Chains A and B, each alone.
Chain A
């Protein structure tokens, strides 16, 4: 398999961040209390990374993939349980994109990709704990299964 360039890998991560932000819009309204606050914080983290990626890709002359009006969710979000399940899925998927960027990057860009992978993996674990999923961890966060 051909190694994507750093710009291609980061564009993939940006598309994943767009989808994550969209998904959290659907997730947040199904949650209450502390879980709702956690969803808001998670969404803010994905927005920060989206904004940073747009700047980074624009200034480096890379292609900035456009956001879309909507994204297909893997399953309908109808209640708290499905919202938490989707939150886990969103974090694992975005983690996978940043994990894929590790091989294409070096130095500060790789540090940034690893920080995102770690942060999203930890958040996926927190969502599993909130949902009562055991074990709350996976052996290889972000690795395609």
Chain B
């Protein structure tokens, strides 16, 4: 490490913040999935029991991911769900299944790349997103 010099006073940009944790985007993704399920539950009350249970699982994932990477859990997803729920229940379920499928791919890739101590958590999240697709059928 270079010794401290007087120049450090003006060279703070040379000390960049540590790179963000690679799992940080998955916290937001989990919160986004939870929000998408809640939005559809509101639009289709007959699906609410099913969808809110899945939303809770996504929130639990976000909480656990935030704990593992050492950040506070954001109180809300970074962005509101980009689409409004479909008007018909079948369409809403199909849209959620597609989101879960994309989410499963994210978690699968993260699990493959993860250090040992994170692999089991990411595996459970990938598996949970697969089971959600089944529950949304």
Contacts and interface: CB of A to CB of B under 8 A. Distances in A.
Q: Do A and B originate from a single complex?
A: yes
Contacts of A121: 127-128, 130-131
A126 B112 CA distance: 26
A123 B30 CA distance: 23
A26 to B, nearest CB: 24
A135 B58 CA distance: 14
Interface of A is mostly: helix
B50 interface: yes
Interface in A91-132: 95, 99-100, 102-104, 110-111, 113-114, 117-118, 121-122, 124-126, 129
Contact of B124 (A3, A113, A135, A142): A142
Interface string B100-136: 0000100010011000110111111111101110110
Given A104-B116, A122-B134, A125-B134, A110 B111 contact: yes
For chain B, the bracket of interface size reads 20 to 34
Contacts of B112: 110-111, 114
A122 B124 contact: no
For chain A, the bracket of interface size reads 20 to 34
Nearest to B50: A135
A143 B121 CA distance: 8
B39 interface: no
A65 B135 CA distance: 36
B66 to A, nearest CB: 15
Contact of B117 (A103, A122, A140, A141): A103
Given A110-B111, A121-B127, A134 B57 contact: no
Interface of B: 49-50, 53-54, 56-57, 60-61, 64, 104, 108, 111-112, 116-117, 119-128, 130-132, 134-135
